[in-house]
Structure 1
């Protein structure tokens, strides 16, 4: 794969997350009864960054949980080549019942990861609502899923790949387009 372009640098990612934090607060008229749940791996770090920004804006903290969707994927047998999948487990130390859950991920593509996340959340409880926040929406949906909050829409072709790098995992903050 060849890197075609860097579409978001560290500052652009920061601005996008600040904008999403403001939108979450505005749409929900504050953060009462709201929780953030990040999808492993990079969604968790984006959720934590959003929580920091929301706390800076509102002066109140918002709960953050981690969701492992490994066992909910519809491509599990394809991805693991019939080996045991690596399950890290979810860490949601609060009830999601009657809460507005903001599900957070890095890239929205076909919608299948989000569908798995929705299934996993429903197994944990009955939220009042589920909203979706993503850093990047690249299009090409295979399921009828749309994000409520998007950092940046990046139209791509099917031969391109979006790579999100976050300092917590990758020692850098940037979003790039790669081409096969």
Structure 2
């Protein structure tokens, strides 16, 4: 297992993503960040803090549980639903930025788009990910990427965050096969 993104690089990537979101959306007034649990929710809070630090104004932030919209529900072990928390202003006519830790096949984001459609109709939907590892199965791409990390299908990306794992790092692991 090797460290693909150490803690200082993760912090820089999150700060860069925050700057890019502000630039593209001409500030934070119309932006709502929605993290996909579990690690995407923590990343959304970090990006929100970075945006507030840069812009001097808060940004709407919440979570979007996608569990019931996944196309692999019957193939995976059951997991508890995470709460969906939509900010009081809602998502109508807002620039919603979905946030996740790793973009791989695109299926998680497809599920997020389905879940978002049940909540409301945003003005735009953008995607921010800490790591884009390639191997898309659906025509989905991120608007904001912390690190492009080309991988083989025999590799696994593990994102560790202080909030859930006690440390900040992205690990690249070879799968014996």
Considering the TM-score relative to the shorter chain, is it more than 0.5?
yes
Q: TM-score, normalised to structure 1's length?
A: 0.95
Q: Quote the residue 2:60 is aligned against.
A: 63
Q: Do the aligned partners of residues 167 and 85 (structure 1) sit closer, same or farther apart at CA in structure 2, a change above 3 Å counting?
A: closer
Alignment partner for residue 19 of structure 2, among 22, 33, 37? 22
What's the TM-score once normalised by structure 2's chain length?
Answer: 0.96
What are structure 2's unaligned runs of at least 5 residues?
Answer: none
In structure 1, which of residues 147, 154, 171 is the aligned counterpart of residue 149 of structure 2?
154
Unaligned runs of 5+ in 1: none
Give the ranges of 4+ consecutive aligned residues of structure 1 lying more than 6 Å apart after TM superposition: none
Distance apart, 1:91 and its partner CA? 1.4
Residue 32 of structure 1: CA displacement?
1.6
Contact in 2 for aligned 1:76/1:85 (Cα 8 Å)? no
Residue in 1 that maps onto 2:44: 47
Q: Secondary structure at the match of 2:137?
A: coil
Show CA shifts across 1:20-61 (max 9, x none): 000000111111211100000000010000000000000000
State the alpha-carbon separation in 2 of the partners of residues 27 and 34 from structure 1: 10
Q: Distance in 2 between matches of 1:87 and 1:173?
A: 25
Matches within 5 A, 1:84-103: 85-94=79-88, 95-103=90-98
Number of aligned residues: 174
1:108 is the counterpart of 2:106? no
Shift of 1:87: 1.3
CA distance in 2, matches of 1:156, 1:97: 37
| Structure 1: distance between partners of 2:56 and 2:82 | 32
1:114, distance to aligned residue in structure 2 (A): 0.5
Give, in whole Å, the separation in 2 of the partners of 1:88 and 1:161: 24
Whether 1:35 aligns to 2:29 is no
Supply the distance in 2 between the matched residues of 1:88 and 1:135 (Cα, whole angstroms).
20
Partners of 2:168 and 2:83 in 1: CA distance: 26
2:138 matches 1:170: no
CA distance in 2, matches of 1:110, 1:63: 28
Match of 1:121 among 104, 116, 119: 116
